[in-house]
Amino acid sequence: MTTILFWLPLVEWAIRVVMVVVILRRRMQPITSLAWLSVIFFLPIVGMLVYLMIGVSYLGRRRARDRRAVAGVGRLPEAMAEAESYATMAELMPEQRNMIVQAEQISGNPILRGNKVELIDANDTLIDALVADIDAAKHHVHIVFYIFWADTVGVRVCDALKRAAKRGVACRVLADAAGSRPLFRSAAASEMIDAGVELHPALPVTPWRRKLSRIDLRNHRKIAVVDGEVAYSGSHNIVEEEYGHKRAGAWVDLSGRFTGPIVTQFQMVFLEDWAFDVGQRLEGDDLFPPIASVGEVAAQVVPTGPSHEAETFRRVLIAALNAARHRIVLTTPYLVPDEPTMLALSMAASRGAEVSVIVPAKSDHPIVSAAGRWYFEQLLEAGIDLYQYHGGMLHAKTITVDETFALLGSANLDIRSFNLNFEINVLLYGPDITSELRCAQQRYLSRSTPVTLEGWRRRPWTKQYPEAAAALLSPLL
């Protein structure tokens, strides 16, 4: 015991010194470096172990190289690249130019017109529609979801996939290895595989992390593509809406059923994910069937992730906020903004735009929620309207800008979605679809209460100090 007591302080100081060198060599934001150094100074052994598990916010050299190798694997055939569905800058409002250019530089995807978007909020309605489309599939079904569980909801999709596979439809499913862990341990997974469904984990977690530098980098996307003609994407997961979050309530989501040329871009994202995680490059004309114009919506799919520093959702978000002139309405389940996002929100309000942010009153992640509440006072002081939703766990990730364009997808307003997760969002251009999405946001507002600056400042210290403490960890969340 005496020997341990003698060596322990020396070991702890050795860890502190070494980790200072390691962290300062990393190209992290100074505030993130400071947060890590603080944790390691006070808890050197624990801090070092945590840093080794989640301190590196990139894929690792091998995995990043693999990801770059499959980039573009799902690019459209040249004949389709010249399709009349491609919109031009002149067809859209001038104030959207920066938004469009930024999104295209990140994703490589141009705007496609001629689409139809059916917004779906009810979980049962979404699953009913997805199962019906799988049952009608003739060639293939492609699915990638962060959470896919074999509960009463998931089993319905599993059964539909089994039926499709048995009649010769190629069914390929990627489910995040962490978010969908119960699925891979279930009988439903074995039954799907036996029926001919190709089921694989995305970003598998292993103790040695041979292929993954940071174990909590996740594929947070939600995509389903049927026959290259129909696609689903948004905030829904394939899981019961209660999802066990009794404290926060049932999830409240919003997704879209997409038809038209935009389906090709969802297909390309899936093909890249499949090539990356499975090592199989899918080819064939049936993956990209000719798609006629079916609606009036111009759209653009923007996948983001940690493969490259520039491929971040933050860039898309700030471009959208900077494009606003009159009004921004934003919903997110997790609000932990970094400095650039805070600045963009504040600048939008200072130039006269009405900015409304809606978050759930109760969250399924108490620490993340507490860290987010620390920013409330700054947002309120900047003239931003804050609302807390009381109808459940508001999980919809939506942004509407003026009356001109909107975003719908999987990304939250937190550091994880900015830097760590593979996300997918779709930009929807035009007054009609923007108005439709804002109607959904108005329904959230009708069940929300405003947060006032005076009232917020009066909350007890027993809440203020834990929020301040949680905020110190926000660069690491």
Residues noted as catalytic: 220, 222, 227, 395, 397, 402
Measured CA to CA in angstroms, residue 283 lies from 75, 95, 130, 170, 301 at distances of 10, 38, 24, 13, 21
E-strand ranges in 235-353 read 251-252, 255-259, 297-304, 327-331
3-state secondary structure labels for all residues of 285-318: HHHCCCCCCCCCEEEEEEEECCCCCCCCHHHHHH
**DSSP-based three-state secondary structure for 168:** coil
Contact 295, 117 (CB under 8 A): yes
| Distance of alpha carbon 113 from alpha carbon 97, whole angstroms | 16
Q: What angle do CA 79, 117, 272 make, to 5 degrees?
A: 50
Structure tokens at 41: 């100074």
Please state the φ and ψ torsions of residue 243, each to the nearest 5 degrees: 50, 20
Report the SS3 class of residue 172.
strand
Q: Are 261 and 293 within 8 A, CB to CB?
A: yes
Question: DSSP assignment, residue 151?
Answer: S
Helices within 355-418 (DSSP H only): 366-373, 376-381, 415
CB count within 10 Å of CB 251 equals 23
- Distance separating alpha carbons of residues 295 and 286, to the nearest angstrom: 22
Tokens 């507002």 belong to: 445
DSSP-derived 3-state class of residue 136: coil
Residue pair 370/428 in contact (Cβ under 8 Å)? The answer is no
Count Cα atoms within 13 angstroms, Cβ side, for 457. 8
In what helix (H) or strand (E) does residue 429 lie, and over which residues does it extend?
A: strand 423-429
Alpha helices in 108-205 (DSSP H): 123-135, 152-166, 181-184, 187-195
Q: What is the largest CA-CA distance in the chain?
A: 79
Provide the token pair at 299.
Answer: 């759209």
